[in-house]
Amino acid sequence: MPPLTSVRAFEAVARQLSFTRAAAELGMSQAAVSYQIKLLEERIGAALFVRKARQVELSEVGQRLAPDVLQAFDILRNSFVQTHQHVSGTLAILSLPTFATRWFAANIGLFQVAHPDIAVRFNSRVENVDFQKDMFDVGIIASWGELPEGVVGHELLRAEFTPIMSGDFIERHRIREPRDLLRAPAISPSDQWIGQWFAMMGIDDYPAMARGVVTLDTQVLEAAAAGAGRGFAMITPALFRDDLASGRLVQPFPELGWDGCTYQLVYPQSRRNWTKVKVFREWILEATSVLRA
C-alpha cells in the first residue's frame, strides 16, 4: 500500500477536482497536496491527473483507481462518524444518592438544554465509582483528599454538617442550645458526624450515650426522617436549601462541622480531553459555584 497520506490526498483531489480545494479540505497547503500526489504518481508509475490551465482532470489510470478509493473512504468516514456519535453522544454519570437527589435531579435538565446533542445516562449508589470496573464516564464521589491513581478530581462542595430537624421537633424537645440535643433522639445515632459536631461545640459526652439503633445510610433518608419529626440528623445544609427555606427542615444552630470531606467530580486522567467530559466539567463547575460560595 502507498502511504495513507498520499491516498487521502488523491481521494480529496479526485472528489474536488482541484488541488487548492482539496488542500483547504485537508487542512494542508496546496504545495503539500501537490507533493503527495507526485509521490503517489511516482509510486504507481503513471500520472493520476491531467493538468490543464486552472483545472485538473482524472487521467485514465486515475479514473480506474478513483471509484474504489472514494468508496473505501466513504465507508471509513461513515464508520468514524457513527463511532464518534456513539462515544460522544452519551455521558454516563454515577453519583452518590444524596448529591443525585438533592442537586442533580433538579439541575441536570439545564445541562440537557445547554447541550442537547449529549444524552445523559444517570445512576446513583452509595459506593464511590470504580473506573476499573464500572462503565461510567464520570462520577460524583465523597473524598477526603486521596484519589485513586490516574483519577482527576474537582471539588464541587464541602460536605459540611450541622444538626437539622423539624420545627415541631424543636418545640417538643425544647431545643434552645446544642446541649439540649443530648436528651433528644438522633437519627443514625452512630453517625460519627454527631460526635464531631458536639466535640466542636465543646460537648464531649455524646459518644457515651447509647440511644436508638436505626441507621440510615444516606442524608436524603435521614432528612426525610428528620422532617417527619423522628429526630435530628447531621446534614449538609447546602444540599437542603429548599427544605430549609420552606421551613420543612430547620437548622437551629449556625455552626458547621467539617471533617475534610468534599463532594468531587472525578474522571480518569486519560478522559480529560473527551469532548463530553470537558463540556460536562465546565458546566457542573459553573453550576455548582453557588454551592461553594
Partner DNA sequence: GAACAGCACTACAAAATACA
Partner DNA sequence: TGTATTTTGTAGTGCTGTTC
Is 10 a residue that touches DNA (CB under 7 A)?
Answer: no
- Centre a 10 Å sphere on the Cβ of residue 220 and count the other Cβ atoms it contains: 20
Q: Least separation, in Å, of the C-beta of 58 and DNA?
A: 12
User: Judged by CB, which is closer to DNA: 38, or 281?
Assistant: 38
- Helix, strand, coil distribution of the chain in percent, nearest 5: 50, 20, 35
The alpha-carbon radius of gyration of the chain (Å, integer) is 31
Q: Is 37 in the site for DNA (CB under 7 A)?
A: yes
Q: Is 15 in the site for DNA (CB under 7 A)?
A: no
Interface residue with DNA, options 3, 67, 109, 167 (CB under 7 A): 3
Which of these ranges, 25-33, 65-73, 118-126, 262-270, lies near DNA under the rule CB under 7 A? Answer: 25-33
Candidates 14-22, 216-224, 242-250, 255-263: pick the segment binding DNA (CB under 7 A). Answer: 14-22
By CB under 7 A, tell whether 115 contacts DNA: no
Cβ distance to DNA smaller for residue 28 or 194: 28
Q: Is 262 a binder of DNA (CB under 7 A)? A: no
Nearer to DNA (CB atom), residue 12 or residue 129: 12
Q: Which residues contact 275 (CB under 8 A, 6 or more apart)?
A: 88
**CA 23/CA 224 separation, integer angstroms:** 64
Is residue 12 close enough to count as binding DNA by CB under 7 A?
no
The answer to whether 48 contacts DNA (rule: CB under 7 A) is no
Q: Which is nearer to DNA, 20 or 123 (CB)?
A: 20
Going by C-beta distance under 8 Å and a sequence separation of 6 or more, which residues neighbour residue 252?
Answer: 163, 165, 170, 175
For residue 211 the three cell numbers come to 440511644
216 backbone dihedrals φ, ψ, rounded to 5°: -105, 135
- Note whether 31 binds DNA by CB under 7 A: yes
* Residue among 18, 88, 190, 275 that touches DNA (CB under 7 A): 18
| 212 dihedral zone (left: phi>0; alpha: psi -120 to 50; beta) | left
- Cα separation, 97 vs 221, whole angstroms: 10
Binding site for DNA (CB under 7 A): 3, 5, 18-20, 27-32, 34-39, 49, 51, 55-56
